Structure 1
Amino acid sequence: MTNMVAINNKAHAGLKVTNDALNLSANQHLVPIVVSELNKLVVHYPVVISKLDDSGQFGLSALLGFEENENLFWQQGHWDGVYIPAQFERLPFYVGTEPSNTNAQANRVLCIDMDNASVNEQNGSPLFDNMGEPTSYLVEKQQILAQLLDGETQNQRFIAALVQHNLITPFTLDITFENESKTSITGLYTIDEDKLAALSPQAIADLHAQNLLQSIYTLVASNAQIYALIDKKNKANKNADAWFQTTN
């Protein structure tokens, strides 16, 4: 449960946030991402196309583990990667809405989850300076949230183009790990590389004109990170086996 409260510099003048906010990511094997993150994500994460739970529409996600509640990038209370996906990096902040006095459209407001363990008044990064101005920490979080909001429209354009050109295809991952354990992942989608290669010159030109072509190829390139994720899983299995042997 979250307890979201709109932030203001009077009521929250002494509020601080520690690094513990990322603890919420520990049990997520998929995290929604936006197109503008792709160039940074491709260094670490396989990016897949998945069905969004609430709508059944396609969305973009980074794959973090091979089973429910498994995040292989969360190691001993720390994130094991240079780039943290924006959906996690913005925690414990959210975008909320409040009624507008001037028009029918609600205003967007910056909110914080007061029940998040990272929120306190003793330790961490302050939200406001002594003059009541937002600190660089809070400004950075606002920028991340703005990126995510803008990314919703970008994602819709990207997915619409993939659907238009029939480039989305389901795939299954059948993996045998070093300890002989096996897993099979279904329900995910990726780019059909054969259909991508067969696109007409006009279709390629249209995707390029919409600034979508590079993102498509970046998503395809991210598939190679599945092998790095398998390596993380193998190492995690070895650590788990070693712990079991020393405690029994």
Structure 2
Amino acid sequence: MAHLVSLDNTVHRQVRVDKGRVEAAGAALNMVPVVLSEFLKLVVQYPIAFTKDKDTGRFACVALFGFHDSENLFVDAGRWDAIYVPLQVSRQPFFLGKAPDGEHFVVCIDTGHASIGHDGEPIFDADGLETPCLEEAKGRLAELLNGEAPTRQFIDMLVEFKLLLPMQLEITFENGDTTSVQGLYTIDDARLAQLDGEAVATLHAQGFLAPAYTMLASLGHVYAMIDRRNKRLARAA
């Protein structure tokens, strides 16, 4: 269970973070939320899709790692087998929390995270100054925070133009196993192609046309994921 506390350069001076264990902790994630600034890195290997919150009806952008809950086809023997590790994974065990004034953010650490121990990289030096390890983590947290608003605007505009539709994946693996992936959404490429000039210009002016096509292009990685699972099933057999 996560135990988040505000980061303190005295209390946490001896804390070390094992980056290998950060990656291993992502082995049970079959998807994570992502922001627009990651798209050009994600599209190299991951399908990017949308999920819909059952309670609020709001959509979120996600990178897909597996076809089942707790299945991550990009973590092998505890190590991330990919060129890029999404920010929601690589920023662990750090989080952003609201300061007591309710307006500012403070960096928090999950003291119960598996990556924290006596091994790994220190986050403060002997004088209590931030090390490169912590500086990099804070950079990832800042990118996530700064990416929330444009990603929300991107989704809202796609919804406004009625460009989202459900995805249904029916997959048969080489060993005969079948699976059906539900609950994901993608961009309606046919409707996108039929938008009038004004709508296309609006999407382009907001910087949302390119990421829309990036998401569509990323779906080809579903086939690479099927291949990864086929290889795992073959090894298990």
> TM-score when scaled to structure 2?
0.96
- Whole-Å separation in 1 of the counterparts to 2:24 and 2:4: 17
How far apart are residue 130 of structure 1 and its match?
2.8
Q: Distance in 2 between matches of 1:49 and 1:134?
A: 36
* Distance of aligned partners of 1:118 and 1:215 in 2 relative to their CA distance in 1, 3 Å threshold: same
User: Residue 54 of structure 1: CA displacement?
Assistant: 5.9
Q: Gapped runs of 5+ residues in structure 1? A: 242-248
In the alignment, the residues of structure 2 paired with residue 161 and residue 106 of structure 1 have an alpha-carbon distance, to the nearest angstrom, of 27
Cα distance in 2 between the residues matched to 1:166 and 1:157:
14
1:26 is paired with a residue whose SS is helix
* Matches of 1:217 and 1:93, distance apart in 2: 32
- Match in the other structure for 1:107: 104
Percentage of identical aligned residues: 43
The CA distance in 2 between the partners of 1:94 and 1:15, in whole Å, is 15
Find the counterpart in structure 2 of residue 31 from structure 1: 32
- In structure 2, distance between residues paired with 1:98 and 1:202: 43
Write out per-residue CA displacement over residues 69-97 of structure 1, whole angstroms, 9 at most, x where no aligned residue: 11101100100101001000001111112
Shift of 1:117: 2.3
Q: 2:25·2:114 contact (CA, 8 Å) conserved in 1?
A: no
1:231 matched to 2:232: no
Distance in 1 separating the partners of 2:35 and 2:105: 20
Q: What CA distance in whole angstroms lies between the structure 2 residues aligned with 1:131 and 1:54?
A: 47
Matches within 5 A, 1:152-171: 152-171=148-167
Which of 99, 119, 123 aligns to 2:116? It is 119
Which letter does structure 1 place at the counterpart of 2:111?
M
* Cα deviation digits, residues 85-133 of structure 1 (max 9, x gap): 1000001111112312xxxx3431101111112212x321111123321
- 1:24, distance to aligned residue in structure 2 (A): 2.6
Structure 1 residue 53 displacement after superposition = 5.5
Structure 2 residues without counterparts, runs of 5 or longer:
none
Q: What is the alpha-carbon distance in structure 1 between the residues aligned to residue 54 and residue 236 of structure 2?
A: 31
- The whole-number CA distance in structure 2 between the counterparts of 1:163 and 1:53 is 16
Please give the alpha-carbon distance, in whole angstroms, between the structure 1 residues aligned to 2:114 and 2:180.
Answer: 35
Alignment of 1:182-221 (within 5 A): 182-221=178-217
| 3-state secondary structure, aligned to 1:178 | coil
Q: For the structure 1 residues 219 and 134, does the alpha-carbon distance in structure 2 shift closer, same or farther, using more than 3 Å as the test?
A: same
CA deviation map 1:189-218 (0-9, x unaligned): 100010011011111111111011111110
Aligned residues: 236
Matched to 1:109, the amino acid is V
CA distance in 2, matches of 1:76, 1:119: 19
Cross-structure match for 2:69: 68
TM-superposed deviation, 1:175: 0.8
Is 37-46 or 55-64 further displaced after alignment? Answer: 55-64
Give distance in 1, aligned partners of 2:215 and 2:42.
9
For the residues of structure 2 that align with 1:53 and 1:116, how far apart are their CA atoms? 28
Aligned-residue CA RMSD in angstroms?
A: 1.2
Q: Distance in 1 between matches of 2:157 and 2:103?
A: 30
* 1:195 to 1:179, Cα distance in 2 relative to 1, 3 A: same
Structure-1 residue corresponding to 2:60: 59
